[in-house]
Amino acid sequence: MLLIQQGHLVNPATKRSEVCDILIDGDTITSIAPSIEAPAGATVIDARGKHIFPGFIDLHVHLRDPGLEYKEDIHTGSDAAAKGGFSTVCCMPNTLPVNDSKTVTTYIVNKAKAYGKCRVLPYGSISKGMKGEVLTPMAELLEAGAIGFSDDGKNVDNAEMMKIALEYSSMWNALIAAHTEDPHIGKGGVVHEGFYSSKTGLKGIPDITESLGVARDIELAYYTGNRVHFCHVSSKRSIELIRQAKASGLPVTAEVTPHHLFLNDSAIETYDTNFKMNPPLRSEEDRLACIAGLLDGTLDAIATDHAPHAIGDKEKEFDNAPFGVIGLETALPVTLDLVHQGKMTLEELIAALTVKPAAILGRSDLGDVSVGRIADLSLWDLSATDTIDDSYFASKSHNSCFKGRQVVGRNTLTLFGGKPVYER
């Protein structure tokens, strides 16, 4: 048994925020009370002065395994998740080979279970090879453990293919996570099209590239009546369209990344490739719209789009470097600034990392520290300060856009199924 004493539990699923004791037997929470006498033989953790949060859920990560393990693998990705307080991550299918078969899905699920530091829920691809031509065997992938489907990294250009995918996935209420990007507008671009693309001479990607894709998939959600989840929303216009769709009662949800909440395209003036991601860092107006969208519920969840790349991949000319930044370890320390600035309550922020992504996945068993639930949780010292640098990461790759940033908030313990998987 394990007893956590006198930590401040913040559990948005039950709207509970109080100092309490939590008793864990095996992998299950058995009691939560103002004070619990330690059973004989129990391990006692003194959590005074610390906050207890449900295990975070990331709807959007890239673990690069199989095929690109030199960037990241399921083990190091799980380590990064555990350090960041994440108990569940949903990994995208753009691996080598693409996760478009039962064999690859089973490999990912089994490798993650054997390592046992994090719950890895893989997305199968919508189309075979992510080519947008032939639908994957959805039933087989779901049976093997897929949580849903996405061709993330590529837009499903063929509207008929996307329509069929929505119709088929609805048979199992499976999630379709859409990477919305018109492939013809801004083709070859590497940064947001605007003042800073002109100043730096880097080819731009206009925000309409995203909003056109969002508009199309909202129409498909309307036509089919089936749900669509929008990945890494970055533009003001996209947010306006999603807000209108939700007001009309359409079954759409959306996520936003920490980097689109806290950075804008002025960062590219340095030509640092750690500021190159897709969708790109956009204008200050877009950034503020992302915050507003998160505050009013248009954007449901915070997801990192954790995209590891080896040093040699990123140390290239800006045009030739790959898109993507890591984010699992830094997600809460960075986004806590929204609480420090008085824009969100701590409970609202934690909800965007726990109960809200759990609802999108249809997993009421996750993101909830309650009696009878799996003991996935983390303990945070919200007064501790750190500076993000290369030593900060458990990930195999260090391509963070937040290096040099001082943050307040440090994870001291992550429990996954009642087992300590990260301690500091």
Q: State the DSSP code for 391.
A: G
Q: Which two tokens stand for residue 184?
A: 């013809």
Of the residues 65, 305, 313, 376, which is catalytic? 305
Lookup: tokens for 130? 């992510």
Pairwise CA distance, residues 376 & 62, whole Å: 22
Q: Which amino acid appears at position 160 of this protein?
A: E
Strand, coil or helix: 169? helix
DSSP letter for each residue of 294-338: HHTTSS-EE---B----HHHHSS-TTTSPP-B--TTTHHHHHTHH
CB-based burial of residue 404 (10 Å sphere; 0-12 exposed, 13-18 middle, 19+ buried)?
exposed
CA gap 188, 178 in Å, rounded: 21
Closest CA to 252 of 127, 360, 153, 364: 360
Instruction: Tell me whether residue 305 is one of the annotated catalytic residues.
Output: yes
Going by their DSSP bridges, the two strands 43-46 and 2-11 should be labelled as parallel
Let me know: does 31 contact 22? Beta carbons within 8 Å: yes
Q: How many residues does the chain have?
A: 424
Alpha helices in 336-405 (DSSP H): 337-340, 346-353, 355-361
Instruction: Please list the active-site residues.
Output: 305
